[in-house]
Structure 1
Amino acid sequence: MRAVVFTAPGVVELRDVPEPEPGPGEVLVHVAASGICGSELHGVRTPGFRVPPLVMGHEFAGSTDDGRRVVANPILSCGRCDLCAAGLRNVCRERRIVGVHTPGAFAERVAVPAGALVPVPDSLGWTAAGVVEPAANAVHAWELAGAPAGARVGVIGAGAIGLACLLVARSGGAARVEVADRSEERLAAASRLGADAAVSRLSGEYDVIFDAVGAAVTHEQSLALLRPGGAAVWLGLADSDAAFDAAALVRGEKRVLGSFAYRDADFAAAVDLVGRWDLSWVDTFPLEEGAEVFTALMNGRATPVKALLAP
């Protein structure tokens, strides 16, 4: 079986790997689309949670041996703890992630627990199915912010997660959504998707800011531009440095909310949403070109905004 394998720091390669063998309770998925995530680009540059050799790929859709069309929720929780019982599987203390702790979907086939599979309708194309997972992140962030219809929203970062935040905020009734990025191509995509402003840097005052970058400077910006009582939702993982004015946070009664992955309801909502989205910012490449596409993105190429690999 062919797969794109993380083999060493900064290196991914197309290789032949053994066929996956489903264990008890697992199902074989024939991969139709698998998205390259920014966290994977960062993880290959600076290995940490992901340890080579590893087949990555946690955003994927495909079909089972019996012909069911599915997307996979890659969060594998224990199912027994207090957090799982409260519906917080995404922050289960013992969680594992397909493509991080187990072999993922940058391959022709992948074995996953049957309970991780979510059916998708025949009307949903593989491109849309392939972006359900990043869309679910945006749905979760919007819910954490309080789903504030009528809000002035800022989005820092016009990668896949940032554009998904824009689209979710638009569908959720935000009064105005502005998006910031350094890439002209990504700002053009944001404008096409309905951003009221697509700029190199946010300015003004916002009710909610989604930081889809997670660098120290964007953490600082997300707090500085909030109105008193506003909420900054941090989704990006670029930097562990918070780098904000804690005194201003207190005096303005501002909130910082960490947003990790999604709950099951967010994932289900994303399946319903993506079929209505303009996905012109998503490009699909053959799996055979996956190592080249991944390396180019890792080394700073701004386009495509979202790359899917298709065996």
Structure 2
Amino acid sequence: MKALVFTGPGVVELREVPEPEIRGNDVLVHVVTTGICGSELHGVKTPGFRVPPLVMGHEFAGRAEDGRPVIVNPILFCGNCDNCARGLTNVCRQRRIVGVHLPGGFAERVAVPAGALVPLPEGIGWTAAGIIEPAANAVHAWALAGAPAAARVGIIGAGAIGLTCLLVAMSGKAARIEVADRSPERRAIASRLGADASGPELIGEYDVVFDAVGAAATHEQSLARLRPGGVAVWLGLADETAEFDAVDLVRGEKRVLGSFGYSGADFAAAVGLVTDWDLSWVGSFPLAEGAEIFTALMNGRATPVKALLTP
């Protein structure tokens, strides 16, 4: 079968690979759509967490062998550790991720544990299905922030995670939402989707700031723009280091929360949200063009904001 394979630093290639091995309670999924995640672009450019050769793809949906339409929750957890007992399955101590530790959805077919399958309800198209996984990240981040209705919200980054944070905050009745991004095209999309303002940087004061970039400079900006007592939620993974004013953090009693993944409940909530969203910022491409579009996005192409591959 055909698969897009991460073969080395900065390189993905369309290759012929063996059919998936079905083991234990695995189910074969025929992939219909799979999203390219910003973390994958970064991971291919600077390998570390992901080790080549690897078929990536953790944002995917398709049909089970019996024809059922399904979405895949790619976070696999043990169910036995202390974090799982607390309901923190997204930070399970034995966590594995489909597309990172196991072959993922950049392929025509993939084997996944049966427990990772979530039924795709009738009425949800495949484009929306391909956005459910990033949307679940935004749902989780919104919950971590306290689901603050009537809040002033700042969002750094108008990629897929930033835009889904915008849409979730709108659903959560935020009072005002401002989005920062260097790309004029992406700022225009954020405004079209409902952002009250957009610019290269945040310039106001906010109750909550979502950093969907994760660079040292955006970490600093997220805290500098918080009101005293506000909360910054960091979702981005661009840099391992953070630069910010620690004295301001203490004197302003500001909080920083890391946000990784989602719970099963967050994933289910995302399924219920995406049907009402404007997804005109999402583009679909054949898997055969995957290497070309992946490389273009990795090297800084601003559009489409979100690319889905369709095997």
Q: What is the letter of the counterpart of residue 25 of structure 1? A: N
Matches within 5 A, 1:157-236: 157-236=157-236
Instruction: State the SS of the aligned residue for 1:275.
Output: helix
- Distance in 1 of aligned mates of 2:92 and 2:65: 30
Corresponding residue for 2:97?
97
Q: Distance in 2 between matches of 1:204 and 1:119?
A: 41
2:133 matched residue in structure 1: 133
Name the CA distance, whole Å, in 2 between partners of 1:173 and 1:299. 36
Provide the C-alpha distance between the structure 1 equivalents of 2:183 and 2:204, rounded to a whole number of angstroms.
21
| Residue 155 (str. 1) matches residue 155 (str. 2) | yes
Counterpart of 2:300, as a letter, is G
In 1, Cα distance between equivalents of 2:250 and 2:70: 45
Alignment of 1:32-181 (within 5 A): 32-181=32-181
Q: What is the CA-CA distance between 1:253 and the residue it aligns to? A: 0.4
Residue deviations 1:19-70, cap 9 Å, x none?
0021111100000110000000000000001111100000000010111111
Superposition deviation, residue 103 in structure 1: 0.3
Q: Distance in 1 between matches of 2:226 and 2:3?
A: 44
Please give the residue correspondences for 1:284-299 in structure 2 after superposition, counting only pairs within 5 Å.
284-299=284-299
The range that moved more, 81-90 or 10-19, is: 81-90
Aligned to 2:309: 309
Equivalents in 2 of 1:296, 1:70: separation in Å? 29
User: TM-score of the superposition, structure 1-length normalised?
Assistant: 0.99
What per-residue deviation string (whole Å, max 9, x for no partner) do you get for residues 179-208 of structure 1? Answer: 000001111110110000011111120000
Would you say how many aligned residue pairs link Structure 1 and Structure 2?
311
User: 1:82 Cα shift?
Assistant: 1.4
The reply on whether 1:26 has 2:26 as its aligned counterpart is yes
For residue 90 of structure 2, give the secondary structure of its aligned residue in structure 1: helix
| Equivalent in the alignment of 2:240 | 240
The code of the aligned residue for 1:82 comes to: D
Letter in 1 for 2:96: R
Superposed counterparts of 1:5-20, under 5 Å: 5-20=5-20
- Tell me which amino acid in the other structure corresponds to 1:207: D
- Tell me the equivalent position of 2:269: 269
Q: What are structure 1's unaligned runs of at least 5 residues? A: none
**CA–CA distance in structure 2, aligned partners of residues 8 and 255 of structure 1:** 38
Q: Is the partner of 1:28 in helix, strand or coil?
A: strand
CA distance in 1, matches of 2:250, 2:263: 29
After TM superposition, the runs of 4+ consecutive aligned structure 1 residues lying more than 2 A away are none
Deviations 1:204-248 (A, max 9, x none): 200000000000000000000000000000000000111011111
CA distance in 1, matches of 2:178, 2:104: 34
Identity among equivalent pairs (%): 78
TM-score relative to the length of structure 2: 0.99
